[in-house]
Amino acid sequence: MFRGRIVRVVCYYRDASLLEMIISTFRKLLIDIDWVYGRKVSDDGLYEVVLGVRDSRNFKTAVLDLSNTVNVEVVEVLGDSEGGNYITNESINGNEVVKIYIPKTDIKECYSWGEVCG
């Protein structure tokens, strides 16, 4: 189980500054990021970016700021249930070179341009 906070950002990709904006929203509020992964969801440029960030008193502010960022459709705060998986790639001489934690999550709350759900 991941001991920080997990955030899923559903957003439209225009250029790679999208990732900078997401990451810097946390950086500007002194919140460290433990891991991040992202993928394209649809052909019209919809992406999801999932981040594991350290808990912080600024966490809510970061989420709210992100939810008002141009190109960001919605920000979900995910609950990390027990039973997340690690995917490892042991392709080089049996050494573990890539290790990705895929949390098993559910949406606790979400924010989109002033609207709240969850």
Partner 1 sequence: MPSGAKLVVEAIRREGVKAIFGIPGLSNMPIYDELIEYLREEEIKHILMKHEQGAAHAADGYARVSGSPGVCTATSGPGALNLVTGLATAYWDNSPVVAITGQVPRASMGRKSFQEADVVGVMQHIAKYVVEIREATEIPLWIKNAFYIALTGKPGPVVVDIPRDLLSTNVDSVEWPEKPVVKGYKVFKSVINPNDVMRAVKILLEAEKPIILVGAGVFWSNASDEVLKLSELLVCPIVSTLLGKAAIPHDYPLYLGVMGYYGRAEANMAFLESDVVLVVGARLSDRTLPSFNDLVSSDKKLIVVNIDPTDVMKLPVKVDVKIYGDAKEVLKMLIDAVLGLGRKVGRVEWVSRVKELKNYYSRYYYRDDGYGLKPWKVLKTIRDVLPRDAIVTTGVGQHQMIAMNFWEVLEPRTFLTSGGIGTMGFGLPAAIGAKVARPDKVVVDIDGDGSFLMTMNNLATTIDYNIPVIVVIFDNRSLGLVRQVQQLFFKGRIVGVDFGSSPDYVKLAESFGALGFDVSDYNDLRKAFKVALSEGVTSVIRVPIMRDEYALPTLPPGGSLKEVIVCVQGKNC
What is the Cα 60 distance to its own chain's centre? 14
Q: Which stretch binds partner 1 (CB under 8 A): 7-15, 30-38, 80-88, 90-98?
A: 7-15
d(CA 42, CA 114): 24
Q: How far is the CB of 87 from partner 1 (least distance, A)?
A: 29
Nearest residue (CB) to partner 1, 14 versus 99: 14
**68 or 85: CB nearest partner 1:** 68
The CA-atom distances, in angstroms, between 115 and each of 39, 42, 48, 73 are 24, 23, 19, 11
* Complex with partner 1: residue 4 or 67, whichever CB lies closer: 67
> Of 98, 116, 117, 118, which lies in the binding site for partner 1, with binding defined by CB under 8 A?
116
d(CA 2, CA 52): 8
- Residue 76 makes contact with partner 1 by CB under 8 A: no
